[in-house]
Structure 1
Amino acid sequence: MSPEFIAVVAVIVAALVFDYTNGFHDAANAIATSVSTRALTPKVALGVAAIGNLAGAFLGGNVAKTVGSGIVDLPTGMESLGIVFAGVIGAIAWNLITWYFGLPSSSSHALIGGLIGATLFASGIVQWDVIVAKVVVPMVASPLVGLVLGACVMLAVMWIFRRGNPAKLNRGFRLAQSASAVAMAFGHGMQDAAKTMGIIVLALYTGGYQDNNTDIPLWVFFSSAAVLALGTYAGGWRIIRTLGRRVIHLDPPAGFAAESVASAVLYTAAAFSMPISTTHTITSAIMGVGATKKFSAVRWGVAGNIVTAWVLTIPGAAAIACVVHLAVVPLFG
């Protein structure tokens, strides 16, 4: 086996490990609200999330192309494979750190930050114009949109059903949440499995096993989707508790509003090839929904810790990737 083949396999394995950590780290995005409102049992919710992620991945090609070809510009060769490997390891490390502390940070931005850090450290080309247009602007806009739309949808729900029987409404919205949880999981698959697909395609291209970094082989769709689904089914209970209970106590109407808003934002971003954070989107939607009931009902201290993790994600993953790249350079020489 050639060194290039071994290097490509190493990057693909690292990408799938990241995919798995993404699954259990971001399982909370799809199921925290449904579990906390008791619309779904934990096992059923995880199963729904896994199936939704699996199905959604097959419609994430646009996002995959942005990650694979729009973030960094790398030539073919061993050095580039080392850069991609270091970037992915940086993202994995950041996922594990934030998972340990129960912080719902963005796996997407961890991966992008890792790629940026390793590429800059190796004096490679970072495509800042694409990053600003398709990463930075959506990174700021999607939580704001989630926050405002979450509040608007919740106010609409409260007004429309203002004369309804609370017990009957809760039962009805628990059923509705089954659909909104599926929609959320589907959107998560469109966004997050796509990022792993982009990395695998980038590895195949820089390793010389593919002529371009935009075409996605069918086996890449299946492997990325399946591993993300497995990771999701493994769960991520630390983060599920943070999103489902520590930010605000949700009832079924609020859970339905938050999930519906978040999934709509995810679909819109995917249509425009924007790799946004499912974590940012659902968390901000939960905050917007909660603030309509009583501003003080949202535990803004917990929310502040989450925002801090958001801000630190890209530079934190980038810094780790730099250290990893320094360590692996001899292996990819």
Structure 2
Amino acid sequence: MELVTVLLVVVVVVALVFDFTNGFHDAANAIATSVSTRALTPRVALLMAAALNLVGAFLGEGVAQTIGSGIITPPSGVEGMTVVLAALLGAITWNLLTWRLGLPSSSSHALIGGLGGAGLVAGAEEHWSVAVDLVLVPMVLSPLVGFVLAYLVMVGLLWLCRRANPGVANRRFRLAQTLSAAAMALGHGLQDAQKTMGVIVLALVASGHHSGAGIPWWVTVLAALAIALGTYAGGWRIMRTLGRRIIHLDPARGFAAETVSASILYVAAIGFHAPVSTTHTISAAVMGVGATKRLSAVRWGVARSIVVAWLLTLPAAGLAAAAACLLLRLVL
């Protein structure tokens, strides 16, 4: 078997490992608020999130095409396989580090940073305009929009429910959170499973086994299964951060945060094919709804640590991928 084919198999396996780590790293994004408000039990929430991650992966290809052809154009052959493999190793390294620290950083931006870092070392063609328009701009806008919209939605809910019985309102919002958590999990599958699909297609094209930006059916199935299994494996460290350490959420605030965040994921994926971070949107939305209680209710020290992780993700994953690329080139 030719070396390029062997490397392609390795890249596909490593991409699915990344997809799995994405699932358990980001499981908290979909269900932490519902679990923390006791709208859902942890096991039921994980089952629902895993199932809807699986379904969401089949709902579109726009984000996959952006990742597969819009960020970089790697060289062909062994060199191209090296770039993609190094990008995945850099992203996995950052995912595992932030998971160990309990920080909800972005798997999406870790992957994009990895592609950029490995591509620079290998002299790949970098599509800077696409990176700015569909990565950097959404990276900044999605948390800002999430914070502001969540704040406004929560203010509206507080006004609408101002005369409601608190106990009755909480019960109704707990029921509503089942739907909002489901929407969030579906959006996570729509966004994040496609990123792995895009990387596998990038490797297939570089190895000469595929042409064009279309996604083979088997790639979609494998990516969907990997992220669903990873989600079911859980992400308890990060779940505690999102669900309790930023602010103690009530059902109404959990519903508002999830609804706003899911809406941003759908608009970005379907309307713009932009790979936005589920972590950024839900974290910012949680902060936004928390700020309606009082500014001091949000634990801004924890929020600051999360923002630092956001800012470090692209360069840190890029450096890890660049180092991996240099090592792989020496070996191969």
Range into which the TM-score falls when normalised by the shorter chain: over 0.9
Q: Which runs of 5+ in 1 are unaligned?
A: none
Alignment of 1:1-333 (within 5 A): 1-212=1-212, 214-271=213-270, 272-332=272-332
Moved over 3 A (4+): none
One-letter code of the match for 1:165? Answer: N
Contact 2:75/2:124 (<8 A) preserved:
no
CA drift of 1:60 comes to 3.3
Question: CA offsets, 1:189-239, max 9 Å, x none?
Answer: 011000000001011110110122x11001111100010000000001000
Q: What secondary structure, in the 3-state scheme, does the structure 2 residue paired with 1:293 have?
A: coil
Give the TM-score, by structure 1 length. Answer: 0.98
Contact 1:60/1:189 (<8 A) preserved:
no
CA drift of 1:4 comes to 1.4
Q: Within 2, Cα distance between the matches of 1:118 and 1:154?
A: 42
Larger deviation, residues 16-25 vs 120-129: 120-129
Q: Within 2, Cα distance between the matches of 1:331 and 1:266?
A: 40
Q: What secondary structure, in the 3-state scheme, does the structure 1 residue paired with 2:292 have?
A: helix
Q: Which runs of 5+ in 2 are unaligned?
A: none
Question: CA offsets, 1:105-162, max 9 Å, x none?
Answer: 0000000000000000112211100000000000000000000000000001100011
Question: CA offsets, 1:75-110, max 9 Å, x none?
Answer: 321101100000000000000000000000000000
Q: Within 2, Cα distance between the matches of 1:65 and 1:326?
A: 27
State the number of aligned residues.
331
Q: Within 1, Cα distance between the matches of 2:74 and 2:104?
A: 31
Contact 1:60/1:193 (<8 A) preserved:
no
One-letter code of the match for 2:24? Answer: F
Contact 2:89/2:321 (<8 A) preserved:
yes
Contact 2:90/2:317 (<8 A) preserved:
yes
Q: Within 1, Cα distance between the matches of 2:215 and 2:182?
A: 25
Two-structure CA RMSD over aligned residues (Å)? 0.7
CA drift of 1:331 comes to 4.3
In structure 2, the CA distance between the partners of 1:12 and 1:331, relative to structure 1 (3 Å rule), is farther
